Amino acid sequence: MISTAIRVARVGSAAELAAAVLMMLGFPCLMLAALVPSVPAFAAAAAVTYLADHYLHRKGSYLINRLSKVRAGLSIRFLIRQLLLVLLLARLSLADNLIYYGAIACFIAFYGLQAPHGALVQLIRNRRRMPVATRNVDLKSRIRIPDAPPRRLLHRSAEKMLHLDLFAVAGILLAAQVKSALVGFVGIGITVAVATLYVLALMPYVRGRKIPPNAEKVLAAVDDWLGEYKPETVLYFSGSKDSAYQVNMWLDTMEKLDSKPLIILRERAILNNLAPTTVPVICVPGGVHLMNMDLSTVRVALYAANVGKNIHMLRVPTIKHVFIGHGDSDKLASVNPYSKVYDEVWTAGRAGRDRYAIADVGVRDEDIVEVGRPQLAPIQPWQGVPEGRIPTVLYAPTWEGWDGNPGNTSVVLAGENIVKQLVQADPPVRVLYKPHPFTGNVSKEAGAAHQRITALVRKAAAERAADSRFVTDNAAQTQAKAELARIEARIAQLAGNGGDKGRDEAEATRDGQVDVARHEEVARLRAEWNEVYWRSFPTWEHRVITGSEPRLYDCFNVSDAMVSDISSVVSDFIASGKPYAVTDSAEVGVEEFKRNNTAVRAAVILSNSADELGELLSAVRDPAADPLAEDRKELKQYLLGPDEPASIDQFNTAVANLALKAETRNVGQESRIAAATAESELANAVPGQRVSSAGDTDGVGTA
């Protein structure tokens, strides 16, 4: 019941739910205490509402946002508490007492200070919002960007300002209890004085050298940097904050380009969710600012998504434009008619080319270039099950999606059957269960099935740990766990030293140059963490893996086979060459399923009963007798292209070839313009003949 309430209220924990309930019950209790009247009861209820409100704000609770939507926002809650305090004084027959008038005057003055406080906070934030935000771009030497106000002044400023009434409320309550107005006026004086000081402390940050330079100076500094850096290849991206993964997947590729890379983003939310990178990043929310930016040295622009704001870059004729997408699948997005606006479309392999041919959406075959998938480089090819280790099978289902289609995920109808058969397999296998992080977000059935699958895996792991046939090297695992703790502490230290946490946009732009040494050390530590993680528990232990670490590709590399659903996970796993199975949860039939989904043509197709799992396990135990081995090789090349040359080399070659086309076009255009200009100047330089009024040519007689 509690878990249901947490889900309905969209809170993160039982403690958060309890705080919300206490806050909502606290206000009726305040009214009751004021009417009785009872000073101790009022003080207790007020304390509960103060503490609960503060806790929910500190947790960033969803309920806080919802309360403001139903006219119960932060200011209203504080105002109600103050009005009820005035009611308490009246019920205590203190309406003729000075403390009564002092309380009313205090709260009027206090709310009078809210307007300048809110205006100053908003003005400071607006003035410190940069027209162009950057990372790894040296603006510090070109323009002066001052430090932000102390974090304590702006962070949760409205809450801090309103909580200053606590001194007045406490003083007034104490005055009512002891029948002495003096203590009440002391509290009132502290509240008004501190609130006034808070307003005064903000004022210096809205004028003079405390504010960043204007948009014109910032844009000039960016253009100056662009002229010095001379970027050649741009990764352009626009989208919602939830789509940041689409640009993050290309960061490693951009770092490995032979040409000078630059990333251009259009939304601040994407910049805030961008993974660490050494590539220069410019976030330009304004279309006019982007169109006025000096990108004269750029020859190739790469687009990871088809969105309306692409037009602001597509309009530049000196650049060749390429759609590279953010994954390889049979989804309709992979053959979007919008793609014909680009000069070229790059696909992983032949499959992408064929999709466009079949879809017939206007993309010409000669404009399609196969470049492989550089992101799949970390996936290691299968060398068979290591000697002395039992096979590992990864179950990595996708989530239920938004449309309720039963074919989206195997979790609901087939998940338990898959896991039961795997944990009971003889000879034994190890099961790694890594569900999609969104599992259960939409469907209660999917969430419940996920919980049951998790319980199955953990129960099987406990039973195996008690089985004498499975030996544990406790000393080695203890050492590995200690090593993990050391690595995690170092990563956390490096992240804390180099992150943008606590800095506003202006400071992050000024100081946002990555420390390359720290960046490389973090990458090394993450690789080391992954290697130690798998040593921290037995190679036979079933495991539920959630969260961002270990990553999906790391799970690929320690697995010998995978069971999944139709998604990009399957296309990526094909790069390993390992056996895999895909569940036909909608039960459309094997032939139809393979006809509709290219990526499953070399898979074992599972029904919801998962009775076909034996075929997958047989292929893992005896690779020589694997009937789909050759099919997987052919499908891998068809979907992802050849192994040689390496995908990053193919990608760099494609960039260089297209840059050459752009340069050829630009030189030709300049030649045509120069020729036209010369012809015009020549025509103007030859004087024309003048005709007399009689119609004769000047200087020429007639016979």
pLDDT in tens, 297-309: 999 999 999 888 9
- Which pTM value belongs to this model? 0.82
CA–CA separation, 470 and 474 (whole Å): 12
Q: In the prediction, which pLDDT does 175 show?
A: 94
pLDDT in tens, 355-412: 888 888 888 989 899 999 999 999 999 888 888 889 999 999 998 887 777 778 999 9
Give the pLDDT of residue 420: 95
Give pLDDT tens digits for 623-649: 888 999 999 999 999 999 998 899 999
Q: What is the DSSP letter of 691?
A: B
**Beta carbons of 202 and 127 less than 8 angstroms apart:** no
The whole-number pLDDT of residue 694 equals 45
CA 84 – CA 274 distance, rounded (Å): 47
Instruction: Give CA 475 to chain center in angstroms.
Output: 39
- Kindly report the number of other CB atoms within 10 A of residue 615's CB atom: 16
The Cα–Cα gap between 137 and 145 comes to 14
Residues 603-621: what's their mean pLDDT? 94
Omega cis (within 30) before 261: no
Distance, C-alpha 508 to centroid of its chain: 18
The neighbouring-strand residues paired with 233 are 261, 300
Say whether 346 sits in a helix, a strand or coil.
strand
Q: What length is written for the chain?
A: 703
One-letter identity of residue 260: K
Distance separating alpha carbons of residues 409 and 582, to the nearest angstrom: 10
Burial (CB count <10 Å: 0-12, 13-18, 19+), residue 526: middle
- CB count, 10 Å around CB of 383? 10
Task: Please tell me the predicted confidence (pLDDT) of residue 403.
Answer: 72
- Residue 425 has a pLDDT of 92
Looking at residue 703, its pLDDT comes to 34
CA distance 82 to 162: 11
CA atoms within 13 A on the CB side of 146: 17
| Tokens coding 401 | 């999606």
Read off the pLDDT of residues 83-142 as tens digits, 9 standing for 90 and up.
Answer: 999 999 999 999 889 999 999 999 999 999 999 999 999 999 999 999 999 999 999 889
Residue-averaged pLDDT of the chain: 88
- From 422, 401, 376, 452, select the one nearest 565 (Cα to Cα): 401
pLDDT of residue 545: 94
Nearest 10 degrees: Cα torsion 328, 330, 336, 337: 120
pLDDT at residue number 699: 44
pLDDT at 6: 46
Which bin fits 185, alpha (ψ -120 to 50), beta or left (φ > 0)? alpha
**Residue 279, pLDDT score:** 95
Mean pLDDT of 656-678: 88
| Tokens linked to 650 | 């193919």
- Answer with the residue of higher pLDDT: 615 or 567: 615
- 686 pLDDT tier (thresholds 50, 70, 90): low
In terms of phi and psi (left: phi > 0; alpha: psi -120 to 50; beta: otherwise), the region of 70 is alpha
In this structure, of 331-340, 368-377, 510-519, 593-602, the range with the lowest mean pLDDT score is: 331-340
**Mean pLDDT calculated for residue range 60-78:** 79
Pick from 567, 608, 601: nearest CA to 585: 608
Q: What is the mean pLDDT of residues 566-583?
A: 92
> What pLDDT is attached to residue 687?
61
Cβ proximity of 270 and 244 under 8 Å:
yes
Residue 692: is its pLDDT beyond 90?
Answer: no
Q: What is the pLDDT, as a whole number, of residue 442? A: 84
- What's the CA gap between 661 and 655, in Å, rounded? 10
pLDDT bucket at 664, cuts 50 / 70 / 90 = very high
CA distance 247 to 303: 9
Long-range CB pairs of 152-158, under 8 A, 24+ apart, other chains included: 153/198, 153/201, 153/202, 154/121, 154/124, 154/125, 154/504, 156/57, 157/117, 157/121, 158/74, 158/75, 158/118, 158/121
